[in-house]
Amino acid sequence: MLHIGDSARLGRRDFLRVGSLGLGGLSLPWLIPTARAGTKLSEAGKPVTDKSVVFLFMHGGPSQFETFDPKMTAPAEIRSATGEIKTAVPGVTFGSSFPKLAKMADRLCIVRSFVPGDANHDIKTIVGKDSHMANLGSAYASAAGSSLPSNGMPTNCVLFPRAVDPNAGPEQGGFGKFASNGPFPASTAPFQPDGNGSLKKDMKLNLPLDRLDDRRAMLEAFDAAKAGMDDGFDNLGVARQKAFSILLGNVGEAFDITKEDAKTVDRYDTAKLYDVSKINKKWNNWKHYTDNAKTLGKLMLLARRLVERGAGFVTVTTNFVWDMHADNNNATMTEGMGYMAPPLDHAISTFLDDLRDRGLEDKVLLVACGEMGRTPRINGRGGRDHWGNLGPLLLAGGGLPPGAVIGRSSANGGDPATEPVRVPNLIGTIMHTLFDVGKLRVTRGVSRELLQMADYAPIRGLNG
């Protein structure tokens, strides 16, 4: 927590009172002059394209059948338990729970031959061996820089439900650390605006205005405090340095969706799609279903606010909700999709329409997938079990060709029937979206790990 005004003299200890990386509604336009906006990283000599990626991680392993490959000609125990719906792409159907995405299928790219690689609960598509156990955004930040020089905006962020709702459950970290920076510098770790559960309190500014009665006095107080720090600003921890950069760079408002027009907030809101009190509490994961419904739309709105202001990579997840075994923890396929599909359908379609309205559709790539798919055969309880040979993958925007359907699955929907798309191919597509790869290869100081990731072959038929 940062306190200013507790004593007549501000010292180093005052500046060390910054807790975790919570921002809440903090905004200091009256304190810090607005930073010069509009500077692009590419214009500053960085090997980037000035595009952004929003990676929506569908934690738990979504089914390929009930999402984007329903296989309705297969036997009843294989085909989508929720039926199918026609899309805007002739001959292509989705699971019937996605009417809004079906209408905009000609703007999406669906991969039906995506092979996650194993059936383990982890986060391998966003943090795994193919990314050197780093969040993909950390690889990006290692070359782009950890924040924008024009306004202090972090280039790499991760959004959990508490970023928009302090009453939501904590992040799910048992299957992997979304904020891992792997071999990349600590400064590249994703900025987490919920402050690990302390969004509102960890960065609060206490200002007795009778002691600091004008803007000049406030700025002088900051200058005096910084000048009096015996070891200097550089000795602050990486997290605290990043917090100060954001505080002093006047970008705190970007993390506060209450600053958005009320009609836009309502447009994104997924809490109104169904009555969460009717979620069956016999499932141990009912709280996760509730959090997903209440927060997914607002998380996507927050992601849009961040990329609009220059963030290059934003990870979004609503925790462990797609594991539909129909056991004590998880609902059946039909009931579970009733909880999960409406928020996803609404949040993604609203996000993509909003990007188009703002002229950002070709500047922001959306990626949506989980860590695995689901078994071709529905189990005796009405659920599907873990399956690593095939899983759903949706991409949209970022300059990729719209309306593409990449690959085909086998007759039972369990294996690729065409050239498999693997996690390195997905990473390759992301790297080619974010970077000028030719320029990256000749840029001094670029890590071996990042160059390896940039050399992964992109998904064939998209960007190379």
What is the identity of the amino acid at 240? R
Q: What secondary structure does DSSP assign to 77-90, as a single string?
A: TTS-TT-EEE-SST
pLDDT (0 to 100) of residue 319:
83
Nearest to 238 by CA among 246, 249, 228, 230: 246
At 242, is the pLDDT very low, low, confident or very high (cuts 50, 70, 90)? low
**Three-state secondary-structure class, residue 394:** strand
Over residues 320-365, the pLDDT tens digits come to: 899 999 999 999 999 999 999 999 999 999 999 999 999 999 999 9
pLDDT at residue 48 is higher than 50: yes
Domain boundaries, the chain: 49-198+251-454
Ramachandran angles phi, psi of 374, nearest 5°: -130, 155
Over residues 291-332, the pLDDT tens digits come to: 999 999 999 999 999 999 999 999 999 988 999 999 999 999
pLDDT at residue 165 is higher than 80: yes
At 209, is the pLDDT very low, low, confident or very high (cuts 50, 70, 90)? very low
pTM: 0.85
pLDDT (0 to 100) of residue 410:
98
At 150, is the pLDDT very low, low, confident or very high (cuts 50, 70, 90)? confident
User: Alpha helix (H) ranges present in 229-371?
Assistant: 238-249, 262-268, 286-308, 333-357
Mean pLDDT lowest for which of 22-31, 134-143, 176-185, 367-376?
22-31
The CATH code of domain 49-198+251-454 reads 3.40.720
Helix (H) or strand (E) holding 424: helix 423-434
Over residues 215-228, the pLDDT tens digits come to: 445 445 545 545 55
